[in-house]
Amino acid sequence: MTAAPLAVVIPSFNEAERLPSLLADLAAGPADLITDLVVVDGGSSDGTPQLARLGGAQLLQAPAGRGLQLQRGIAATTAPWLLLLHADCRLHPGWVAALRRAMASPEAAWAFDLAVEGQGLSLRLLEQAVRLRTQLRQLPYGDQGLLLQRSLLERAGGMPALPLMEDLVLIQKLQRLAPIRRLGCPLQVNGRRWRRHGVLGTAWRNGQLRQAWRRGISAEQLAERYYASDGSTRSPSPE
């Protein structure tokens, strides 16, 4: 089964420990699938940009802020399909077949099944809850990755240049245009935030951020809260 060319866009910030593994996963895929591999770095100080180049990616620079970084990376590619991934995730065996099936299906946006790195019943229950949310509410978040046609993204108005909540805003726009489906393949994400705050603590914190967003708090303010609670020194908003 063949598929139209695919561009992979990855925003990064201080992910030197994780990004090389993701790039290796992508490099193991068939040469006819991925025509563009772009890493958009938001000012890393740990060697992430150099590792991105060594991993075969085209490197772009942008002010830190995931929405803006994704927007810059998408604009630098031309492939008809886009795969948007966070820099700290890992692809599981079967990802190529899952993407090819999706790309041969009627128009939709597609997300992986969340798989959080680490042991424990609470993480497995979290994964099941996210799977149900994606299946029933068609509401995946950015850490699940997103596969979609460029034309569908353009009809949705493009990637919002927000430092936080860009995934929620985009998904809400896509919901009005096409189905959002599960790829049926796991995507492993770094469990650091779940370990730092606990599963319930992380879920509560994310829920509070979404409520604040709905009350009209700016994405810049929310990003400052979000990264400060993780002890990050990154500048989340475009300068």
pLDDT digits (tens, 9 = 90+) for 112-139: 999 999 999 999 999 999 999 999 999 9
Looking up tokens 């998904």 gives: 171
- Residue 58 belongs to a domain: yes
Evaluate if residue 93 carries a pLDDT over 70.
yes
| Residue 162 resides in a domain | yes
Identify the bridge partners of residue 34 per DSSP, sorted by sequence position. Answer: 6
pLDDT digit string, tens, across residues 36-52: 999 999 999 999 999 99
Q: Roughly what angle, to the nearest 10 degrees, separates helices 121-137 and 199-214?
A: 30
How does the average pLDDT of the chain come out, rounded? 91
Adjacent-strand bridge partners of 115? 188
Does a structural domain hold residue 227? no
**This model's pTM is above 0.85:** yes
- 235 pLDDT band, cuts 50/70/90, is very low
Q: Is residue 145 part of a domain?
A: yes
CB contact at 8 A, 51 and 44? no
CATH number of the domain enclosing 30? 3.90.550.10
Name the pLDDT band for 229 (thresholds 50, 70, 90).
low
Does residue 77 lie within any of the structural domains? yes
State the residue range of the domain holding 143: 6-192
Query: Would residue 65 count as lying in a domain?
Result: yes
Mean of pLDDT values over 44-64: 97
Query: How are the residues of the chain apportioned to helix, strand and coil, as percentages rounded to the nearest 5?
Result: 45, 20, 35
**Tokens read off for 29:** 């895929």
Which of 12-21, 96-105, 178-187, 194-203 has the lowest average pLDDT?
194-203
The fraction of the chain above a pLDDT of 70, given in percent, is: 94
d(CA 75, CA 5): 16
Residue 52 lies in a domain: yes
Q: Which DSSP state fits 53?
A: H
The closest alpha carbon to 51, from 90, 93, 89, 13, belongs to 13
| Residue 235, domain member (yes or no) | no
Confidence band of 222 (pLDDT split at 50, 70, 90):
confident
Q: Which residue did the predictor score with more confidence, 225 or 237?
A: 225
User: Which pair of tokens denotes residue 25?
Assistant: 């996963």
Domain count, the chain: 1
